[in-house]
Structure 1
Amino acid sequence: MLRIRRLKTEIKTSNGVFGSDDKFTEGLNFIASEDNTCGKSSIIAAIYYCLGLEEIIGGRGEKVLTSVYKTSIEEGESVWPVLESGAYLEISNGKDVITIYRAAKMENRDSKLITVCHSELDDIGKPNILCEDMYVHMPNSAVNKKGFHSFLETFLHIELPLVPASDDAIRKLYLQLIFSGMFIEQKHGWADLLSGMPVLGIRESKKRVLEFILRLDTLENEKKKDYLRTSESNIKHKWESLVKELIIYTNRESCTISGLPAGPKLLSEDDFSKILISKDNDSIEEYIEDLNEQYKELGLMKPKIIDNFDEVQEELNETENSIDQFESELHKHRDMLLSENSSIERLASNLEIIDSDIRNNKDAARLRDLGSELNLATSKDLCPVCSQAIQDTLIPDSSHMQVMSIDENIRHLNAQKEMLEFARNSHRQNKEKLQGKITQLENSLFKLRSLAKSLRSDLYSTNDNMSESIVYKRLQLDSEINNLNKLCDLLSSQKLKLKELSDEWKQYLTEKSGLPSKKFTDLDEEKIKTLRNHFINNLRQFGYKSILNLNQIDISLESYLPIIEGFDMKFDSSASDNIRAIWAFILALLQTSNEKAGNHPGVLIFDEPAQHSIVINDMEQFFNCIIKLKKSQVIVGITIKDSDTRQVISKLPSEDYNLIRVPNKAFRKFESESE
């Protein structure tokens, strides 16, 4: 919810301060003048400007404002050059009130800087009133903490969706786009429906805005479909990688695997039991059992004490010593690996802190460069509580030390970041080397233990004719048995992973089946029907005549814009009826949102809606329709030069609208306090 409560403009000249100070109410507000060049649009433009929505007018920054804010201001026959100018806008979200200040012309203060005070305008400057500087129309101003539009989104309790951009990225639906469906400015806004919408790289921006205002489920369903497509891709990728790994290891041992699904599917216990590895037409378990029998048979052969008993014993002792050394070396390398992992985690944590500090310092520098001059006590090394001097270091007697500036802090932090990243990369390289070394040590240990086992066998059970052959065969058998056992262990672990992926696949299929079978939910269809009904009723009420049978009008299910027989209804509309259609549609969006719990913030601005010689009776119906709106605020800039327009406004019940009269010149000279 957005309510505009007060707008105060200030234009400082050598002859004093000029400006305007207007208060707005709930419901219908008129900004009215006798002539079309008195400054109504300049006042309305200041509202856009303070909200950072001036792109709806046609540009960014102070250049969209009239010359009265930037160059000179007239006072009778005199013309005074503008020295400084800016505007205060007091708004509410229905509960809290803030005042926004944005400069239009000021030395050392960029127009991208916005100051937000958490109070009413009259309370600014009082003790304990929080004011903070933010920025707008800069990278990340819609997402960063100090970005004004990020703040405004939170303040207005708006949750902007993520939508596809023209470069295939996913971006937030910008506030400038949303409010272009509510703020209709004089120059471009009356050309067509939502014609003031800026181009910000969002794909099908009008469609996305209408989906958001009406809170259609289609937007959420599209997000769910994107999420499910990503989930499907991830599961398939993991499944295929797992299957590929199993096949590689199975082929390496000259085995075959059966019952393994090539792609994701729901697996039952029976399915898991059918995933088998075999070799030489035997199951792997039977084959391993047969190898163990062969190994035992070789060990039962009658040995004889051989002549080189002492040499074999000595070799066995050396082998066992080597095993001890390798085990010690392996233990040491594993400890070193743990240390490297700990260092990498610590450096990653430090890098997160450094990145946060860099962002904060860059935001501070950005605000400083824009001209922020908030009187923060901590920036002057003063305690905000007791006002005593404070130091940013615990080193005694550090008054002679020079404190780094923000720019020096950023350079120092970037240097620290580079150093930490270099250290982390070094530790990662060390980790890879250690992992490789550990693998080598484990393989060497395996061979040494197998050798020791064979040497013991030679000492106590070797036949004089077959000792070398037996050792060789037993080593080969032992190696094959170990490899096949590892393959069995791998199959067991991969089955567990398959079970997890199968469960994920089940969840994916469940969520996919929960998507609506048709594009629109029943509630969506009801909202679109309500929008159509309000639109047609408004057209009928406003005297739309270009189409004889208004029931031919429909709302496109592709663009959510009005069509006739599949074509844009603008092609069948006269210039004045096109204006009526814009009135009707913009009001219908608000009416539908109010009735069907949409996302409309409940505020509209129409600058000079009486375009193309609109019949005065239709204008009266337009105003009466606005008055009947609930939970809304509508600001209308209008010229009442002719008596008919003045008479229409005078016919309205005085309690149903707020009239802000703009004199010959909207910006008058403020009386000084001394006067």
Structure 2
Amino acid sequence: MMLRIRHIRLRAETTGGLYGADVRLDGGLTVLHAPNTSGKSTVLHAFLYALGLEQMLSPRREIPLSYAMREYIQNPTSGVEHKILESYVAVEIENANGQIMTVRRNVISEGDRRLINVTLGPALTKGSGDYAQRDYFVMDAGGAQREAGFHRLLAEFMSWNLPTVKRFDGGDCPLYVETLFPLFFVEQKVGWTAIPGAIPTQFRIREVHRRSVEFLMDFDTHDMELRRQDLELRMSAAKTDWAKSVDAMVALATASGFRAARLPMVPTALGSDVKSAYLECQQNGEWLRLQTRIAALAEQRETLEKESIPEVEDVVEGAAAEAEALSAEIMSLNAVRSAIFRDRQAELVQQASTAQRISQLEEDVQKNKDALKLQNFGSTLARELNPNHCPTCEQPIDQSLLPQGILESVMSIEDNIEYLSAQRKVFKRLADRSVAIIRELDLELISTGEDVRNKSARLRALKSDLIAPSHAASAAFIEERLRLEQELARLRDTMARFEQQLDALNEQARAWRDMLSERADLPDARLSDKDFAKLRKLEQSIRSQLVRYGFGTFPAKDLTVSDDSYRPEKEGFEIGFELSASDSVRLKWAYQLGLLDVSQGIKTNHPGLVVFDEPRQQEAAEASVAGLLAEASRIASGRSQILIATSEDLSKVEGFLQGIDCQLLVFNGKMIAPILDDINF
């Protein structure tokens, strides 16, 4: 047993003195009997509230306790109503290791209700002692994950390793304890309406009913889901690493004035796709493979190496004409570069303006959202600080974002948020476009700059030849040979580094292929043989219980438990409105106790606790109730705890319990009553 309730305490300080209730529970089956409206549900809800589980009952975060703990309480003798000054609830719980923890939480107090005080010891049953204490929080972000979050402590106390599950928005979150307790704690108002349980959906967890049953039954498919999620995380990291590698290769190419072509921008398992990538360089306004350019330059260098160095008198005539042509080409290139530079500067200005506009829009959207939030919260402070002022520009307005007296139709804050968000998307697309344009202009500047440098060096060498002695060696010829060697060395170095990065990317492609193979190897069947065995045992337990309870809509042997939804079915169809109201309750009894029954001989994550608040719904037959108590006693005898609260006629209850080993707690009047002496806690 992972969780046992030892003691529940309620206290309320009123204008008429101290009131409260104490319920001390043994293990096994306990029947709590009290008249209607005497406070049974309040006591059970106090257990949930003390553990910060009120969202299991309602997404509204309201206190799930009656007026007797929140507003006023009536003296059972005089009938006088006394206002509640302060109140709190406390529970003492024990885990499978024998560790005891006492949890206290304020109901009405000057302090924050999200604060929970934990005493590591039996402070209710043994009284105050030298026990360690610590405060935790609930009902706030991080309550299930952070060290100071109480639900993290509660999960550890119960030896629950809460898994990470997917939300509808694609994010991850833990499987909150609020989604698990409805599988073994059935409260009176809504708990009897659903199978497997009235599991809250406000946490937006995908297939939350399946995830909860899978965890409670400790299905292997749960581990399989974790494997899938781990694989998803590794694949996500691989995508990030791939993007970084591609960015590095693009940066290498851009720095040299080149362009990476056919480079896979997303991970691929095909090595051929990676190997097909290459670098391009620009020549005379056209893009060609860098390898082709290297081959052409190598051929030119080889040709020059075969030639002897000419004298100036042999090349002077051609040098003059070439120098004149080069001067014209350099002037033309400089003009082109000036135009490119102007375009780039204009685009930079546009980019800065767009970025500023995006920043303004984001600020405007946030201000409008904040204003809407405060408006929805009913903030009076916000109205006092900014009465009828625009949340963006703080100009005074009169229910309008437009000049006053011009138009009657105005946008609401919601419409304004939608409009600003749409504008933000447009400007973000413009910003992405500017980045691409600037990148292309940078490439053109680098490429044309390299051309200007090469042509200028050639022009200087030609001019040297024109003024050199006639028998001197041609400087232009020597410079051309050196330039070719340097250019070849630069291009080959860039090519070598690119190919090195390409090899690393190919390794990433192999790793990606392995992850794809791992994903393909995951079994198509969701459940393992052990999981199927647990479901069949649950199915068998439900059937045998239904026979004991007098289930009559159809033969109990026809009932099955779905391997997909884990809900009861008949002939492959989920059981719904065809059941009578009383048989629906019987099926609920059988399912909830069946989950506990499965855990008796097979390892599961069931806490070994079941709580039923008024199980005799829809006026179920007395024989059915007797069968329920007998089955509960049988199942609870396996070191489990079952607590059943009822207002059934006491004489009938005592008759049902004859021959059954259980604890019967009887309250003849209001459970929350005046207290004369109290042990402080």
Give TM-score, length-normalised by structure 1: 0.68
Larger displacement relative to structure 2 (48-57 or 222-231) = 222-231
Aligned match of 1:209: 212
Residues 20, 667 of structure 1: 8 Å contact kept = yes
Matched, 1:615 2:621: yes
Deviation at 1:160, TM superposition (A): 1.7
Counterpart code for 1:154: E
Residues 69, 82 of structure 1: 8 Å contact kept = yes
> 1:224-253, CA deviations, whole angstroms, 9 ceiling, x for partnerless residues?
335545655665676688679589959x99
Which of 625, 635, 640 aligns to 2:631? It is: 625
1 CA distance for matches of 2:265 and 2:86? 74
2 CA distance for matches of 1:640 and 1:29? 15
Matched, 1:650 2:658: yes
Aligned match of 1:197: 199
Deviation at 1:532, TM superposition (A): 1.8
Which of 462, 474, 481 aligns to 2:481? It is: 474
Residues 334-353 of structure 1 correspond to what in structure 2 (within 5 A)? none
Aligned match of 2:40: 40
2 CA distance for matches of 1:192 and 1:256? 59
Change (3 A) 1:137 1:470: same
> 1:553-581, CA deviations, whole angstroms, 9 ceiling, x for partnerless residues?
22223321112234331322111111110
Residue 651 of structure 1: SS of its match in structure 2? coil
Residue 663 of structure 1: SS of its match in structure 2? coil
State the Cα RMSD in Å: 4.3
Aligned match of 1:523: 530
2 CA distance for matches of 1:506 and 1:189? 48
Give unmatched runs, 5+ long, in structure 1. Answer: 306-435
1 CA distance for matches of 2:585 and 2:290? 83
Aligned match of 1:55: 55
Change (3 A) 1:118 1:138: same
Deviation at 1:69, TM superposition (A): 0.9
Matched, 1:668 2:655: no
> 1:420-473, CA deviations, whole angstroms, 9 ceiling, x for partnerless residues?
xxxxxxxxxxxxxxxx9xxx9xx99xx89x989x99xx99x9995663422442
Change (3 A) 1:622 1:612: same
Aligned match of 2:269: 265
Change (3 A) 1:500 1:568: same
2 CA distance for matches of 1:517 and 1:673? 60
1 CA distance for matches of 2:95 and 2:111? 28
> 1:286-313, CA deviations, whole angstroms, 9 ceiling, x for partnerless residues?
7776566456557x627799xxxxxxxx
Which of 479, 483, 488 aligns to 2:490? It is: 483
Which of 93, 107, 110 aligns to 2:95? It is: 93
Residues 11, 18 of structure 1: 8 Å contact kept = yes
Aligned match of 1:76: 77
Counterpart code for 2:659: K
Deviation at 1:643, TM superposition (A): 2.6
Residue 63 of structure 1: SS of its match in structure 2? coil
> 1:609-668, CA deviations, whole angstroms, 9 ceiling, x for partnerless residues?
122222223222222222222242111102242532221123313xxx222222312123
Counterpart code for 2:54: E
Larger displacement relative to structure 2 (605-614 or 282-291) = 282-291
Change (3 A) 1:499 1:537: same
Deviation at 1:133, TM superposition (A): 1.9
Matched, 1:637 2:641: no
Residues 185, 196 of structure 1: 8 Å contact kept = no
Deviation at 1:23, TM superposition (A): 1.7
Counterpart code for 1:582: K
2 CA distance for matches of 1:211 and 1:117? 32
Deviation at 1:47, TM superposition (A): 0.8
Residue 183 of structure 2: SS of its match in structure 1? coil
1 CA distance for matches of 2:265 and 2:304? 35
Residues 239, 266 of structure 2: 8 Å contact kept = no
Aligned match of 1:119: 121
Residues 88, 121 of structure 1: 8 Å contact kept = no
Change (3 A) 1:650 1:110: farther
Aligned match of 1:151: 153
Aligned match of 1:341: none
Aligned match of 2:501: 494
Residues 136, 147 of structure 1: 8 Å contact kept = yes
Counterpart code for 2:529: D
Matched, 1:583 2:586: no
Residues 160, 174 of structure 1: 8 Å contact kept = yes
Counterpart code for 1:511: E
Residues 196, 591 of structure 2: 8 Å contact kept = no
Counterpart code for 2:519: K
Residue 196 of structure 1: SS of its match in structure 2? coil
1 CA distance for matches of 2:77 and 2:264? 91
Residue 612 of structure 1: SS of its match in structure 2? helix
Deviation at 1:53, TM superposition (A): 1.4
1 CA distance for matches of 2:608 and 2:520? 36
Residues 535-546 of structure 1 correspond to what in structure 2 (within 5 A)? 535-546=542-553
Q: How many residues align?
A: 525
Residues 269, 510 of structure 2: 8 Å contact kept = no
Deviation at 1:126, TM superposition (A): 3.7
2 CA distance for matches of 1:262 and 1:613? 63
Aligned match of 1:367: none
Change (3 A) 1:498 1:462: farther
Deviation at 1:17, TM superposition (A): 2.0
Change (3 A) 1:102 1:504: same
Residue 154 of structure 2: SS of its match in structure 1? helix
Residue 178 of structure 2: SS of its match in structure 1? helix
Residues 214, 527 of structure 1: 8 Å contact kept = yes
Matched, 1:563 2:569: yes
Change (3 A) 1:274 1:613: closer
Residues 61, 111 of structure 1: 8 Å contact kept = no
Residues 4-23 of structure 1 correspond to what in structure 2 (within 5 A)? 4-23=5-24
Deviation at 1:585, TM superposition (A): 0.6
Counterpart code for 1:514: D
Residues 207, 560 of structure 1: 8 Å contact kept = yes
Larger displacement relative to structure 2 (550-559 or 464-473) = 464-473
Aligned match of 2:334: none
2 CA distance for matches of 1:618 and 1:502? 64
Residues 274, 505 of structure 2: 8 Å contact kept = no
Change (3 A) 1:524 1:586: same
Residue 588 of structure 1: SS of its match in structure 2? helix
Residues 38, 670 of structure 2: 8 Å contact kept = yes
Change (3 A) 1:272 1:17: closer
Counterpart code for 2:625: M
Change (3 A) 1:37 1:514: same
Aligned match of 2:427: none
Larger displacement relative to structure 2 (481-490 or 58-67) = 58-67
Residue 176 of structure 1: SS of its match in structure 2? helix
- Where in structure 1 do 4 or more consecutive aligned residues deviate above 4 Å? 59-62, 122-125, 229-250, 252-263, 271-292, 294-298, 302-305, 461-466
Deviation at 1:8, TM superposition (A): 1.7
* Percent of aligned pairs with the same amino acid: 26
Deviation at 1:137, TM superposition (A): 1.4
> 1:80-117, CA deviations, whole angstroms, 9 ceiling, x for partnerless residues?
332221111111222321111111112x1232221111
